[in-house]
């Protein structure tokens, strides 16, 4: 195999850096299970292990039911029932016993095979009810496997350094992996703004997404080079290719190091200041925000905390995490976003029933929080208690109407009152709104009268404005980023907010796009929030801009009619200010 020539695949650069290593293939409904041979005398021991794992799973489901059933609809009750039935299904257990005897491999591998074939059979039957039950069996199967392997091995598991090449990755895999062993990440699906890409960036793992059909061409252990700068993946890279890519990596590291050394605020050459803050997904990211000179945390995505937990973190657990984040963000602010599950961030214990056909247009963000008030109140209590640190703000995701913002803030006021009565010491908390639906952008004037600040979530604003699914690699490459329609919406939102003295930040992936920086400076955005590794470069770029020139150049660019022409003009403007920062 090593004699074969290198093969090159183009995708979308999702997280900067270069990684080289043996490819580890991950397909579809995977769980890594080693097929360990056993002696006939070990069969009863293996069955006993399975019984213990089943009991544990049963307890977990009952506990989740007890904790969450309050305030839930009857549909959630039937979800738990369906899961309990799947745990206890005698046909599954009998099939496992038979195969253990005939194949003599460990119970994890047997159980996984049995669940897979059950799910496949059920999905083949033309019956909507059974197809849905197949999903219950699969979910429960995963839980049982985790319990069989012990919590420390739960989820994604790498036992040696490698590059993961997957069709799509579950966020729950990524949040639980050992990042020291993950040299790079390649997925067939996804775009730059899918959450697996965002997480790879925050974990500092080079990533390329949207690489079509690579799984057909790769075998396990084939050497893979991931070039997260150029968005390219090479199978069996030549020595020369590796040396080139590593030189690129060294250049990026040197540039970042040099930029980091110049600390302090980002101010344009003619004196316009911009706050460059960090997006944080996991508590482990926090030391990086100081290292990279972030001006605080502009977006704390709390759902990753929930994804890591079996049933959702308690108030005390959340409080500890938010307090720690507030501490790290000082002397700047920490903006905590309330839970934004849904879309591509699904919590196994918080699944919508009936299953949503189009989760990105379903119960996401504030919609879900307003419906599942128990979860929302617990989170608000934790955020408010963390506010005693003095630098905490919060914001609500996926708002589409003033009424939603008012209802959410009303709950915040109630929760604050409760906490005061309980004797807690609380700080001031400004309450903002994310502008990430076209509806919110079009009602920015009204929302600005209610909210203390805006944070524009360009990832969703772009997907909903252009009707481009952020997970769909094929369609996301059809349009250039930025598209003029989105730029116009952003311009309008900033203008409305400024009229009322409300600060605006940008927290989607566009915030770190150097081609757009002159645009953000020109329209007067106060803050850009991004993956911390990108901050030093963006700060350097801000210092090279003259705001007056940026305004002139941007006005000319926006006169072009076609979006690719506007993009080309903006690129030229960026090249004028900082050509050396743009080379990949």
Do the beta carbons of residue 40 and residue 340 sit within 8 Å? no
Q: Which is nearer to Mg ion, 440 or 522 (CB)?
A: 440
400-459 residues near Mg ion, rule: CB under 5 A: 436, 457
Q: Does 342 bind Mg ion (CB under 5 A)?
A: no
Least Cβ distance, residue 479 to ligand PEP (angstroms) = 16
Q: Say if strands 266-267 and 273-280 run parallel, antiparallel, or are unpaired.
A: antiparallel
Least Cβ distance, residue 432 to ligand PEP (angstroms) = 13
Least Cβ distance, residue 297 to Mg ion (angstroms) = 16
**Residues shown for the chain:** 584
Residue 392 touches which of ligand PEP, Mg ion, none (Cβ within 5-8 Å per kind): none
Least Cβ distance, residue 484 to Mg ion (angstroms) = 21
Q: Which is nearer to Mg ion, 222 or 463 (CB)?
A: 463
Specify which residues 279 forms β-bridges with.
299, 531
Known active-site residue 30? no
DSSP 509: G
- The angle, 0 to 180 degrees and rounded to 10, between the axes of the packed helices 563-577 and 547-557 is 160
Beta carbons within 8 Å of 339's beta carbon, 6+ residues apart: 302, 303, 306, 365, 368, 369, 375, 376, 379
Least Cβ distance, residue 434 to ligand PEP (angstroms) = 7
Among the listed residues 83, 106, 194, 195, the single catalytic one is 195
Residue 60 touches which of ligand PEP, Mg ion, none (Cβ within 5-8 Å per kind): none
Burial class (CB in 10 A: 0-12, 13-18, 19+), 25: middle
Q: Does 173 bind Mg ion (CB under 5 A)?
A: no
Specify which residues 434 forms β-bridges with.
455
Q: Which is nearer to Mg ion, 20 or 510 (CB)?
A: 510
Number of residues that bind Mg ion (CB under 5 A): 3
Beta carbons within 8 Å of 341's beta carbon, 6+ residues apart: 303, 306, 347, 350, 364, 365, 368
Q: Which is nearer to ligand PEP, 342 or 518 (CB)?
A: 342
Known active-site residue 507? yes
Q: Which residues contact ligand PEP (rule: CB under 6 A)?
A: 299, 301, 340, 436, 457-460, 507-508
Is the bond preceding residue 482 a cis peptide, omega within 30 degrees?
yes
Among the listed residues 106, 194, 483, 507, the single catalytic one is 507
Token look-up 């074969």 returns 4
Least Cβ distance, residue 459 to Mg ion (angstroms) = 5
Q: Which is nearer to ligand PEP, 18 or 289 (CB)?
A: 289
- Report d(CA 541, CA 259) in Å as an integer: 10
- Report d(CA 143, CA 155) in Å as an integer: 9
Q: Which is nearer to ligand PEP, 190 or 553 (CB)?
A: 190
Show the DSSP H helices in 387-507 as ranges: 402-421, 438-442, 444-450, 458-466, 473-476, 484-499
Q: Does 460 bind Mg ion (CB under 5 A)?
A: yes
Phi first, then psi: what are they for 211, rounded to 5°?
-95, 100
Residue 458 touches which of Mg ion, ligand PEP, none (Cβ within 5-8 Å per kind): ligand PEP
Residues of this chain that interact with Mg ion (CB under 5 A) are: 436, 457, 460
Active-site annotation, residues:
195, 507
């Amino acid at each position: 195999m090593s004699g074969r020539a290198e093969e090159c695949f183009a995708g979308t650069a999702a997280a900067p850096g270069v990684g080289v290593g043996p490819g580890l293939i991950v397909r579809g409904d995977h769980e890594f299970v080693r097929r360990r041979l056993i002696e006939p005398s070990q069969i009863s021991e293996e069955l006993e292990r399975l019984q213990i794992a089943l009991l544990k799973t049963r307890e977990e489901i009952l506990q989740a039911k007890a904790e969450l059933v309050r305030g839930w609809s009857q549909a959630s009750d039937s979800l738990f029932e369906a899961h309990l039935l799947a745990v206890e299904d005698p046909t599954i257990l009998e099939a496992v016993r038979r195969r253990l005897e005939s194949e003599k491999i460990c119970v994890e591998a047997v159980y996984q095979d049995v669940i897979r074939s059950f799910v496949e059979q059920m999905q083949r039957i033309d019956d909507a009810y059974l197809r849905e039950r197949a999903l219950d069996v699969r979910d429960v199967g995963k839980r049982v496997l985790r319990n069989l392997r012990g919590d420390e091995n739960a989820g994604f598991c790498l036992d040696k350094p490698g590059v993961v090449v997957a069709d799509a990755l579950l966020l729950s895999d990524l949040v639980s992996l050992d990042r020291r062993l993950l040299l790079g990440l390649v997925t067939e699906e996804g775009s730059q703004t899918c959450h697996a890409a965002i997480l790879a960036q925050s974990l500092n793992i080079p990533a390329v997404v949207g690489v079509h059909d690579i799984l057909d061409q790769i075998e396990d252990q084939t050497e893979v080079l991931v070039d997260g700068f150029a968005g390219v993946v090479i199978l069996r890279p030549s020595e020369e290719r590796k040396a080139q890519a590593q030189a690129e990596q060294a250049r990026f590291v040197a540039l970042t190091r040099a930029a980091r050394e110049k600390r302090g605020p980002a101010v344009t050459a003619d004196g316009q200041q911009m706050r460059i803050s960090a997006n944080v997904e996991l508590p482990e990211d926090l030391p990086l925000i100081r290292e990279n000179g972030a001006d605080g945390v502009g977006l704390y995505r709390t759902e990753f905390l929930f994804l890591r937990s079996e049933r959702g973190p308690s108030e005390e657990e959340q409080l500890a995490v938010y307090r720690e984040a507030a501490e790290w963000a000082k002397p700047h602010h920490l903006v905590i976003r309330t839970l934004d599950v849904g879309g591509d961030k699904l919590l196994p214990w918080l699944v919508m029933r009936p299953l949503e056909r189009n989760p990105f247009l379903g119960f996401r963000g504030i919609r879900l929080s307003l419906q599942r008030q128990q979860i929302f109140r617990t989170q608000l209590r934790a955020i408010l208690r963390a506010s005693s640190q003095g630098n905490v703000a919060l914001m609500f995701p996926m708002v589409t109407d003033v009424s939603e913002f008012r209802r959410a803030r009303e709950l915040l006021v109630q929760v604050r009152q409760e906490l005061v009565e309980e004797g807690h010491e609380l700080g001031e908390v400004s309450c903002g709104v994310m502008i990430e639906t076209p509806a919110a952008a079009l009602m920015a004037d009204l929302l600005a009268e209610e909210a203390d600040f805006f944070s524009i979530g360009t990832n969703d604003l772009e997907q909903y404005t252009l009707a481009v699914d952020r997970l769909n690699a094929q369609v996301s490459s059809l349009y250039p980023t930025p598209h003029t329609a989105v730029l116009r919406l952003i311009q309008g939102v900033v203008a409305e907010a400024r009229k009322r003295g409300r600060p605006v930040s940008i927290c989607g992936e566009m915030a770190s796009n150097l081609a757009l920086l002159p645009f953000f400076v020109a329209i007067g955005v106060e803050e850009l929030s991004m993956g911390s590794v990108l901050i030093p470069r963006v700060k350097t770029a801000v210092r090279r801009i003259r705001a007056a020139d940026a305004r002139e150049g941007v006005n000319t660019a926006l006169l072009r009619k076609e979006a690719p022409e506007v993009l080309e003009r903006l690129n030229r403007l960026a090249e004028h200010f900082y050509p050396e920062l743009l080379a990949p």
